[in-house]
Amino acid sequence: MNSGQAEHLPLGDVGMVAVGSAGGDLIERRPIKSRSEWLEWRMHDVTASDVSALFGAHPYGRTRLSLWAEKAGLLGGEGMADGSMLRIGRWGEAAVLEMLADERPGWIVSRPRVYLRDPSIRLGATPDAEALDPERDGLGVVQCKMLTEGVFEREWADGPPLGHQLQTLSEMMLARAAWGALAALVVARYEWRPVIFELIRHEAAEARIRAAVSRFWADFEAGLMPVLDPENDAETISRVYPRAEIKTPPLDLSGDNDLPGMLATRATLSTLIKDAVKQIENVETRVKARLGVHERGFLPGWRIAWKNEPRKGHVVEPSNPRVLRISPIKGS
């Protein structure tokens, strides 16, 4: 794609670099010196890893509402907790780059440790690696992934998921890279399998990314809350509204035309679930009676075990969560 010519500079170059000719935008290149400073920068931007949330395609269920709540400081100030998934990604990055040294020996690959930012739309990115390929012109950006075999077969068999493509395309755009690569290690029990997908710049996709990010911030500044995604926003809603602050009078919801049907559906489903659970319990009681004092049983097509499984005792810490209770009013 050509949206104006730009000199391809290593991502590690520090400072403000003029790129392209579309509006004369400047891209900030900030060397990452501490995790806390990097996290603070990210809070003020939509980052490449979250762009897919604006298109309903985030690989880990991130939504527009959860992104909005984070930027509004409504998620309890946890930021990016260094949990197991982040550690796997961080530790696995070195393994993926080692794989690239074997699979693409002609590439010159390095880790820039830089935060890229377009201040005109508040879009940021932290590329895992940059690469130069003697067989093609210009800089390349590499995004590293660690995948289980099941995830690869379920989500990657036909190519990289849209969410990861959007992340890489955003990084390519900010780096003004000529090409990009999604490099992954598929981790099985006895082998690690390399997978490399190469991408090129995509003008239409970049225009949509820029428009979506600009729209997000315009709505954010206008105080507009994104539409709820009930399948993915349960945790976000609980964290945005952790306490009941207005106890009386109760909120009058009689003018809500959607709620009566929703609550009736909930009541029907609740009854079906209770009936199903009771039927399952009845079957299990009969199976236990058949086993008696035997720990295991078998029959064609089935294995059955009713074992004693020791469990450690534990103390439940006091808490004060909000509990939703819905019940019909008699006679209504």
Q: What is the pLDDT of residue 322?
A: 83
- Give the model's confidence band at 83: pLDDT under 50 very low, under 70 low, under 90 confident, else very high: low
CATH number of 15-235: 3.90.320.10
Q: Quote the CA–CA distance of 239 and 321 in Å, as a whole number.
A: 10
Over the stretch 207-254, which tens digit does the pLDDT of each residue have?
Answer: 999 999 999 999 999 999 999 999 999 999 999 999 999 999 999 999
Cis peptide, bond prior to residue 328, ω within 30 of zero: no
- Residue-wise pLDDT for 99-119, tens only, equals 999 999 999 999 999 999 999
Q: Is the pLDDT of residue 17 over 60?
A: no
- pLDDT value for 84: 59
Beta strand spans in the chain (E): 15-18, 26-31, 46-47, 108-110, 114-118, 123-125, 129-132, 139-148, 179-187, 192-200, 296-299, 302-305
Distance CA 213, CA 24 (A): 18
The structural domains of the chain, with segments of one domain joined by +, span 15-235
Model confidence pLDDT, tens digit, residues 264-294: 999 999 999 999 999 999 999 999 999 999 9
Q: Could you give the CA distance from residue 96 to residue 145 in angstroms, rounded to a whole number? A: 7
pTM for the whole structure: 0.81
pLDDT digits (tens, 9 = 90+) for 160-216: 999 999 999 999 999 999 999 999 999 988 889 999 999 999 999 999 999 999 999
pLDDT tier at 77 (50, 70, 90 boundaries)?
A: low
Tokens describing residue 73:
């400081």
Query: Which pLDDT band holds residue 4 (cuts at 50, 70, 90)?
Result: very low
